[in-house]
């Protein structure tokens, strides 16, 4: 694919050669702006032991605009909805062109370790998380076993 900005080439190169622990990201053969991503559930979180598939797309305006990221694996999390969309500040108004694919994926991994039911995307999950946390965590663990292994 010609005309891919140097910034994207460099980021891709580095992601392939030296990816952060628990994270993998590789561009698709037919579209180098489209990445297949996996994120391992953080230790001592209900997602531990799970491997979650995501897709990441770099829009034409990247890095002035944030990448588009979505979970493909079903996940029980207050900030991730049924369609896999993620509620994360740096993917919206807190995006900076100095951030990278790597930082985005690390932030998503951190979000798995620290769910925030006060700023929910999936309302029913968030409600459950607040009202009956142990049941919610058990549910998240169960979904991880069922869908992410």
Chain residues in the site for other proteins (CB under 8 A): 5-7, 10-11, 14, 61, 63-65, 79, 88-90, 94, 96-100, 102-103, 106-107, 109-111, 114, 116, 119
Instruction: Please confirm, yes or no, whether 122 is among the known catalytic residues.
Output: no
CA-CA distance, 75 to 127, in Å (whole number)? 16
* Active-site residue, selected from the candidate residues 87, 105, 126, 136: 87
- Give least dist CB 143 to other proteins, A: 21
Tokens 């628990």 belong to residue: 22
Q: What are phi and psi of 79, to 5 degrees?
A: -105, 10
Q: Which is nearer to other proteins, 17 or 83 (CB)?
A: 17
Query: What's the sign of the alpha-carbon dihedral 73, 62, 103, 107?
Result: negative
Nearer to other proteins, 50 or 115 (CB): 115
Residues designated catalytic = 87
């Amino acid at each position: 694919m010609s005309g891919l900005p140097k910034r994207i080439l460099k980021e891709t190169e580095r992601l392939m050669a030296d990816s952060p622990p628990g994270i993998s990201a590789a561009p698709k053969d037919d579209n180098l702006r489209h990445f297949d991503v996996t994120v391992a559930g953080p230790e001592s979180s209900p997602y531990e032991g799970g491997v979650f598939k995501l897709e990441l797309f770099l829009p034409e305006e990247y890095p002035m605009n944030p990448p588009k990221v979505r979970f493909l694996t079903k996940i029980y999390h207050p900030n991730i909805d049924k369609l896999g969309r993620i509620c994360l500040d740096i993917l919206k108004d807190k995006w900076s062109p100095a951030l990278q694919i790597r930082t985005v994926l690390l932030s998503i991994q951190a979000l798995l370790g620290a769910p925030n039911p006060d700023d929910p995307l999936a309302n029913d999950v968030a409600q459950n998380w607040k009202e009956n946390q142990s049941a919610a965590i058990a549910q998240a663990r169960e979904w991880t076993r069922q869908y992410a292994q």
